[in-house]
Chains A and B, each alone.
Chain A
Amino acid sequence: MKLVILDYGAGNIQSIIFAVERLGYKAVLTDNVSEILAADKVIFPGVGEASSAMTKLKSSGLDKIIPQLKQPVLGICLGMQLMCNSSEEGNTKGLGIFDIDVRRFSNSVKVPQIGWNQIEGLKTDLFLNTPNNSYIYLVHSFYASLCDETIATSDYDLKYSAALNKDNFYGVQFHPEKSSTIGSVILQNFLERIS
């Protein structure tokens, strides 16, 4: 299987590479369009700030490529948020794959949310062998609201989308690569059960 991680200068890719390697796969980090198009699976990583990440995506032309991909794509954290319509962070227009806007948590809770929370309402094969209320690791200040494309929910300040799916596009707000055993189950599902 050819697995590609999109390279657009987003930080902290190494932990995803390690997690994939622990599952016995090799990932190629690239911004090369033909290599991306030829991949069996694509991971769209991201940490940091939305508007500057979007600027980087645009300068590499990936903003045009990603929405056209036909193979399974998994956006992680900011990657997922950038696949939405827009983000309140830096008033950023997103890729518009998921039909939902990204907002900031209110100040009635500590922002960012950092740590382990639970997911429930799990749908699709991404969550095969994943019990309801499994603990996953998150670090984020912004969230996608609940919508038709929600395939997992979590609760902080309010109930929000912990994961989204539309066609071949999947997005998770949490970090499967850092979410212990259950995180690797979810990553493995993406690699082996989603086609």
Chain B
Amino acid sequence: MLTKRIIPCLDIKDGRTVKGVNFVDLRDAGDPVELAAIYAQEGADELVFLDISATEEKRKTLAELVYHVGEKVNIPFTVGGGISSVEDVDILLKNGADKVSINSSAVKRPELINELVAKFGSQCIVVAIDAKRKDNQWKVHLVGGKVPTEIDLFEWAKEVEQRGAGEILFTSMDHDGTKNGFANQALRKLSELVNIPIIASGGAGNMSHFTDTFQNGKADAALAASIFHFKEIGIKELKTELRENGIAVRL
């Protein structure tokens, strides 16, 4: 049986992890490669690296990081953040990334999805969507959720699927950082609307939130950052609890 996936997300700036990471057993808490290897060992199903640096050398630094992660880590990983061209994706995949995620660049130029799918295949193209509720409607936001658009989340998700994306990573800006649980109503609607996997993101605060998002939100995977980095939840104990709740996980 296909299992539900647990995905820690690491924010990267200039080749280093940002946001506090509270791993006492880490020699270097800022080293994404070491952190990634630990998560893989603890039973993470995949990893996501989100690059938030804005330097000129960004592309080269990120490619080097991807190469070093690939050398060490024997589970799949996705790289996102500022990817806007076929060439960007080519460099990352060649250096060992399994998938890339695109966000604002796809909204600005939706044909990018088709171009990437034609060249690299659906299986490695994740479209990340950040959205926020406004007047009872979910509106897509750009640039890490900072810039609102008038685009409807569900219409955009449908289009993303039709253009060939392999997966959707949906972050609710209303839930992100709140630790009050995932946006399960919207997730469920998304999951029933499209026939590609949905990764839930934003709002994880405790273990029951994951059970909820798999059972009520019908998510195929769940992503979280700080609760894993600060060891508020261990991946093994989370998966053990999920299994006790009847959710198929890899243990």
Q: How far is the CA of A59 from the CA of B251 in the complex (A)?
A: 44
Q: Does residue A194 face the partner (Cβ distance < 8 Å to B)? A: no
A interface, size bucket? 35 or more
Contacts of A156 in B (CB 8 A): 1-2
Name the one of B4, B70, B124 contacting A11, with C-beta atoms under 8 angstroms: B124
Contact for B5 among A14, A116, A140, A184, CB less than 8 A: A116
Q: Are A107 and B74 in contact (CB under 8 A)?
A: no
B88 interfacial contact with A, CB 8 Å: no
Closest A residue to B122 by beta carbon equals A112
Establish whether residues B196 and A111, one from each chain, have CB atoms under 8 Å apart when the complex forms: yes
Given known contacts A11-B93, A137-B76, A141-B122, A114 and B197 CB-to-CB distance under 8 angstroms: yes
Measured between C-beta atoms, what is the minimum distance from B64 to chain A in Å? 13
- Please name all residues of chain A whose beta carbon is closer than 8 Å to the beta carbon of B124 when the two chains form the complex: 11-12, 47, 139
Interface stretch, picked from A18-26, A60-68, A91-99, A145-153, is A18-26
Interface residues of B in 39-94 (CB under 8 A from A): 40, 45-46, 67, 70-71, 74-76, 93-94
Taking a contact as CB atoms under 8 Å apart, the answer to whether A115 and B45 are in contact is yes
Q: Which of A1-38 contact B (CB under 8 A)?
A: 11-12, 14-15, 18-19, 21-22
A135 touches B220 (CB 8 A): no
* Max chain B C-beta neighbours (<10 A), residue from A110, A115, A140: A115
**A residues less than 8 Å from B22 (CB atoms):** none
Q: Is the CB of B95 within 8 A of A14?
A: yes
Q: Report A-chain residues with C-beta under 8 Å of the C-beta of B166.
A: 112, 114, 139
Q: How far is the CA of A110 from the CA of B45 in the complex (A)?
A: 18
Contact between A112 and B2 (Cβ–Cβ < 8 Å)? no
The CA of A115 and the CA of B118, in the complex, are separated in Å by 22
Interface of B is mostly: loop
- How far is A183 from B167 in the complex, measured between Cα atoms in Å? 23
B3 within 8 A of A: yes
* A11 near B2: Cβ-Cβ < 8 Å: no
Q: A179-B74, A180-B40 are in contact. Are A115 and B1 (CB under 8 A)?
A: no
- Asked whether B96 lies within 8 Å of A14 as measured between CB atoms, the reply is yes
Kindly list chain A residues whose C-beta atoms are within 8 Å of the C-beta of B121: 11, 47-49
Within 8 A of B (CB), among A66-120: 107, 110-118
B149 contacts A by Cβ under 8 Å: no
Residues of A within 8 A of B (CB): 11-12, 14-15, 18-19, 21-22, 47-49, 107, 110-118, 135, 137, 139-141, 155-156, 175, 177-181, 183-184
30 contacts between A and B (CB under 8 A): A11-B121, A12-B96, A14-B67, A14-B95, A15-B98, A22-B74, A48-B121, A49-B118, A110-B197, A112-B196, A112-B197, A113-B2, A114-B123, A114-B166, A115-B3, A115-B46, A115-B220, A116-B5, A116-B250, A118-B1, A135-B3, A135-B250, A137-B76, A139-B76, A139-B124, A178-B74, A178-B76, A179-B74, A180-B74, A183-B74
Name the 4 nearest CB pairs between A and B, nearest first.
Answer: A48-B121, A14-B96, A139-B123, A135-B250
